[in-house]
Structure 1
């Protein structure tokens, strides 16, 4: 291929990782076609002002992701996408809540907005009573959680012989905060986190905001599609 240079102006991490990410992005966009030969390592190293070793590490990372193949003496080529192996549209997962209403009798799984079935009046009444009876509890985000909360968490999580000790429970201000804390603790910026298509849109969007990359896995009536999950794992190496 000729007249192509990677865009290294964005992204994070070491240069070889940003280079691999840039090439992967151009493959996804069709800028680099299936079957195309990537530039020789020495030539690309000269063009972007780095070492041959850095290019080699980037190409190796692309091979691990299942995007290219390399043969000694022939070069590195972009692999053709398998039939029926189209990439899922990430838009529903990363754009978050939409203002568009769902069709009558249907739910929008790419939105956090609940359909209006009259719950507003009920919630308003409950909040009014709560504000009157427990004004302090709703006016501040306290970090001084009562001991009974830890005991309740331990009891609720107990399954069979597993029972976490109360002092291992970490209360959070909502499920969203809990999931994001887990993602932040178990992954590093640049890591891939995989979600099924019907996922809570704000979680995948928030993962992107803290530097994690997201990929979607196809589902069927039984849940996650094992073959698609295997493909994503081979290409993205998610955490």
Structure 2
């Protein structure tokens, strides 16, 4: 695989149009690099391996009509030099694109956009099933939100929601939110709660409170992509801990804490993303015991717990003095509803307040006033009940299409996503691109993996699609996987 040079990060725009730049002197694949190329990708996805990023950019430009059928592509060597890639990387991308019917090679002439590729991609673009984004299904929650917002505006008492505030959040908001996240084994004081701009902000606060530059953090073998991004931004090292059917394995955590010297653990014990695995009470106790043994701190991400009834007691209830607990209402509404909750140990409260002021000064009181009204009126609970029913229905639909997949037998353990093991003969890369070519968006390969072992499965998000799109998308995915990878490239 070629090295990533500056030109890969920001490839220069072509000096001529595609048709103007194409000329016979660039035809042969072994031609010397010229000063003008018939195609230079305008955007490469650096989260993908270089050859896959090149294929994705090629597909995108074909779909947009930038590369009409019959367009001659640059010679392998010339494009490799332009992008700072190895010749073998570009050659591999061209071979894969040919196998997928995107391009065709003509002996002695070069590589051309296949005649049917553009029209096929255009027809598929209008029937996309998005299984890549973990959104709540529509159960009417936005209408309830609009009604609550209208009530606040009619009340005339909104000045206080825009007042200068450098605190943890308004007292009346924290009190209601503390009650909303409570379980029999976890009843946090409102005094220890911070209103945050979503759980992602809460994660950032937790890291700034607990970690120093270059610290090592232990995480599940597969982990939340947003946490990986934060760790990369702040230069923390992530060490994966083995998982089983319930999530993080206590014995493996014990061993990794001893070997690594790490003192911070990030985990999602309930409806873990990407796998949906959920720990029982005994597993949570064992994890807590290991953390106490090693004097380690836990960042507990509990954003999906409200989907389970009754909601499991979090690990924070067992070791509140060594856990930063995170929840969110963004997963009830849309992702733009940035209302998160962080519960911190009393010993870290002043540091948490300082981190809050430094990062955002305060959360948005208007969103938390909306949350408070919806909780007190019972409207939020109505939405949650509807979401639980709808997530179970969608999980059952997935089971109908993929009965061989190992989903939790307990139907209450249903969230917005499921984990689908990839059948033998397929790779995550192949499935991602074949599915996308047939109007199905999946999470990019490698998104959740912490080490270089990759993933033998894919997260399928069931919440974002409308009901009709969900049924059609799962049916198309079933059809794709019913064939060997190479023949699946031609599935209609």
SS at match of 1:192: helix
Please list, as runs of the form range in 1=range in 2, the aligned pairs for 1:205-224 lying within 5 A after superposition.
207=443, 210=447, 224=475
Of 43, 47, 59 in structure 1, the residue corresponding to residue 94 of structure 2 is 59
Task: Give TM-score scaled by structure 1 length.
Answer: 0.51
Contact 1:13/1:190 (<8 A) preserved: no
Please list, as runs of the form range in 1=range in 2, the aligned pairs for 1:61-80 lying within 5 A after superposition.
61-80=96-115
Contact 2:65/2:118 (<8 A) preserved: no
Equivalent residue for 1:144? Answer: 280
Please list, as runs of the form range in 1=range in 2, the aligned pairs for 1:181-220 lying within 5 A after superposition.
182-183=419-420, 186=422, 188=428, 191-192=431-432, 194=435, 207=443, 210=447
CA RMSD of aligned residues (A): 5.6
SS at match of 2:125: coil
Please say if 1:88 is aligned against 2:125.
Answer: yes
Equivalent residue for 1:151? Answer: none
Cα separation, partners in 2 of 1:139 and 1:65, compared to 1, 3 Å: farther
Distance in 2 (alpha carbons) for counterparts of 1:47 and 1:83:
25
Q: CA deviation at 1:74?
A: 1.4
Deviations 1:169-201 (A, max 9, x none): 68697423660xx14x5474785184998x9xx
Equivalent residue for 1:176? Answer: 415
Please list, as runs of the form range in 1=range in 2, the aligned pairs for 1:98-177 lying within 5 A after superposition.
112-115=137-140, 136=184, 143-145=279-281, 174-176=413-415
Deviations 1:183-230 (A, max 9, x none): 4x5474785184998x9xxxx68x36947799x9xx99x96479x958
The answer for unaligned runs of 5 or more in structure 1 is 98-110, 117-130, 147-161, 163-167
Equivalent residues, number = 183
Cα separation, partners in 2 of 1:59 and 1:16, compared to 1, 3 Å: same
Contact 1:45/1:55 (<8 A) preserved: yes
Contact 2:134/2:417 (<8 A) preserved: no
Q: CA deviation at 1:137?
A: 7.6
Task: Give TM-score scaled by structure 2 length.
Answer: 0.28
Please say which structure displays the higher CA radius of gyration: 2
Contact 2:103/2:114 (<8 A) preserved: yes
Please say if 1:11 is aligned against 2:46.
Answer: yes
Contact 1:192/1:213 (<8 A) preserved: no
Q: CA deviation at 1:43?
A: 1.8
Cα separation, partners in 2 of 1:83 and 1:232, compared to 1, 3 Å: farther
The answer for unaligned runs of 5 or more in structure 2 is 1-17, 22-36, 142-178, 189-268, 271-278, 283-402, 449-457
Deviations 1:135-187 (A, max 9, x none): 528979773258xxxxxxxxxxxxxxx9xxxxx968697423660xx14x547
Distance in 2 (alpha carbons) for counterparts of 1:82 and 1:190:
17
Q: CA deviation at 1:96?
A: 7.5
Equivalent residue for 2:331? Answer: none
Contact 2:69/2:117 (<8 A) preserved: no
Deviations 1:111-147 (A, max 9, x none): 822259xxxxxxxxxxxxxx9xx9528979773258x
Contact 2:69/2:113 (<8 A) preserved: yes
SS at match of 2:112: strand
Contact 2:55/2:93 (<8 A) preserved: yes
SS at match of 2:415: helix
Contact 2:44/2:57 (<8 A) preserved: no
Distance in 2 (alpha carbons) for counterparts of 1:176 and 1:50:
41
Q: CA deviation at 1:18?
A: 1.4
